[in-house]
Structure 1
């Protein structure tokens, strides 16, 4: 079968649209930290479980026709579906807990930096995708930029990072500061690595299911639907027994619904669309756009200040994203 110039052009346009869809998803995800700033004393586990759980169930609901149409394929890949769902369950719990224990900057940096590295390793181990020199260059610039952003934010706050993105309570210790004991910080770092790895893993699993003929909505809907049932069931038990604060105030309710419907539902719809044409390693690298959006919103809406080093980090992330998007349009 001969590949025509029009086929190449169509493939290039499809990849371009996929990259833009992933960037749009990252933009929506970048709003979660600012949104959660308005939460009052809500557990990071409740925040993550509700947002990802409701978002996952909604994805499964709108994907029901596609899931039924691909039911035989899904049953044949039930191992992938279950493994991917487990990764989806672990990711939000680990990510929000990482920010709660290690601080917003450190938790975000560890998770965001781990994801593209984990995706590249997994693709090399279980796939045939080859990484380009531009990918390695983008990774170096992106990680350096995220680290510099974190350092700039930390310096601005005098080293005291309040876990607002995790819905943490800065008064929890009674002294007005977030506890910074070594074991908590270390636990937060480990959880950030787990979050980044599970994020990369379910992205790769979803892409692999699509490569084997599963519709994009069916792949994402099945993974997130199974995970959503587990997360909501666990959240319901937790709220009944220990932590009923997720809907304690109108503000908390609004934040919870926003995070479930916009970043976790609409965002992952866009991300699933992008995965149809973009490799998981590139998609996770493009999501470095998320901390850039989060930082800009923190400055403009929350009133935070970022040191010059942080702004330089943003510039490096922008260069990283330009390098990743440009080859598809060349």
Structure 2
């Protein structure tokens, strides 16, 4: 189980580098957030296609029958791709409009708390007092982050904050859809269909918004950054996470994943010079604690699946 926990922690660290590298790209080129979201998926798709084929061959050799892609099975996977497309664009846009640290803290830390609350009316999972307290703590932590961001930026970057909240809502929708409409589709097959759908959705958005024009401003080193985002945090990060999940209980996994926004905040401070300040650090810790409580509460309402 220790190896699995370390693999999940490694995945969180790799995912954390996405916002950092993206911020370098946005500040040094004319690349739009939605274009980077599309490129990230496009780079990762061949890798996940190969993993899907390998997965299908392994199922064919075993006693397990490969899943049949009926309309009923594909609809939830397409829905997950829709959420993935909106999340990619909104999260990266929040990073561009604010900072990597605050955008990630809000987008990723609010999402599990929103899941715990939204699961009540949608999935019939009644939230307890602890979950409600976690929500209040998450709101307080987010407010402290906004105050800290105002101090460092000199003004309220409301647009970026709201986009980060949108990303959190979309991620919560992704999680709830995944939980509610599980079709038993193998992991990498699910990932490929989800990413392929998201890329198809983002492609016309990028084309119609003139997002491809920004590619002309990219230098060779910046193309390497795009490739890095598509390969390291996306491909290697997800493989590390899924590998770790095989031997790690779901409750523990959900807690370890909360390291990602903290990794981002730390890297943003060291590499980008983004300072949270005393209020921001306190808000980040409160928000992270709320995520852990909400994750444990949410996981406690259903059996571990790992």
Write the distance in 1 (CA, Å) between the matches of 2:140 and 2:256. Answer: 15
Q: Is the counterpart of residue 34 in structure 1 residue 4 in structure 2?
A: no
Q: Tell me, what secondary structure is at the counterpart of 1:51?
A: helix
Normalised to the residue count of structure 1, the TM-score between the two structures is 0.67
Q: Conserved in 2, the CA contact under 8 Å of 1:105 and 1:154? A: no
1:268 Cα deviation (Å)? 3.3
Q: Is the counterpart of residue 59 in structure 1 residue 21 in structure 2?
A: no
Write the distance in 2 (CA, Å) between the matches of 1:264 and 1:230. Answer: 18
Q: Conserved in 1, the CA contact under 8 Å of 2:9 and 2:256? A: yes
1:112 Cα deviation (Å)? 3.2
How do 1:1-330 residues align onto structure 2 when only pairs under 5 Å count?
23-39=9-25, 40-41=28-29, 42-66=31-55, 69=59, 70-72=66-68, 75-101=71-97, 107-108=103-104, 110-131=106-127, 134-159=130-155, 185-186=158-159, 188-210=160-182, 212-231=183-202, 242-245=213-216, 248-271=218-241, 278=250, 283=254, 287-317=257-287, 319-320=289-290, 323=293
Q: 1:315 to 1:238 in 2, by over 3 A?
A: closer
Q: 1:159 to 1:241 in 2, by over 3 A?
A: closer
Partner of 1:6: none
Q: 1:288 to 1:302 in 2, by over 3 A?
A: same
Write the distance in 2 (CA, Å) between the matches of 1:293 and 1:47. Answer: 21
- Structure 1 spans left out of the alignment, 5+ residues: 1-12, 161-179
Write the distance in 2 (CA, Å) between the matches of 1:144 and 1:25. Answer: 28
- Structure 2 spans left out of the alignment, 5+ residues: 60-65, 301-306
Q: Conserved in 2, the CA contact under 8 Å of 1:53 and 1:232? A: no
Q: Conserved in 2, the CA contact under 8 Å of 1:206 and 1:219? A: no
Write the distance in 1 (CA, Å) between the matches of 2:130 and 2:260. Answer: 20
Q: 1:288 to 1:322 in 2, by over 3 A?
A: closer
1:79 Cα deviation (Å)? 1.3
1:27 Cα deviation (Å)? 2.8
User: Which one has a larger percent helix, Structure 1 or Structure 2?
Assistant: 2
1:72 Cα deviation (Å)? 0.7
Write the distance in 2 (CA, Å) between the matches of 1:205 and 1:19. Answer: 25
User: How big is each residue's C-alpha offset from its partner over 1:298-321, in whole Å with a ceiling of 9 and x where there is no partner?
Assistant: 222223333122222343355446
Q: Tell me, what secondary structure is at the counterpart of 1:38?
A: helix
1:138 Cα deviation (Å)? 4.5
Q: Conserved in 2, the CA contact under 8 Å of 1:142 and 1:316? A: yes
User: How big is each residue's C-alpha offset from its partner over 1:254-313, in whole Å with a ceiling of 9 and x where there is no partner?
Assistant: 21111111222233345556778638xx94x76543332112112222233331222223
Query: Aligned pairs, how many?
Result: 285
Write the distance in 2 (CA, Å) between the matches of 1:314 and 1:320. Answer: 10
User: How big is each residue's C-alpha offset from its partner over 1:206-238, in whole Å with a ceiling of 9 and x where there is no partner?
Assistant: 34454x432223222321233234445765787
Write the distance in 2 (CA, Å) between the matches of 1:303 and 1:101. Answer: 16
Q: 1:267 to 1:200 in 2, by over 3 A?
A: farther
Normalised to the residue count of structure 2, the TM-score between the two structures is 0.72
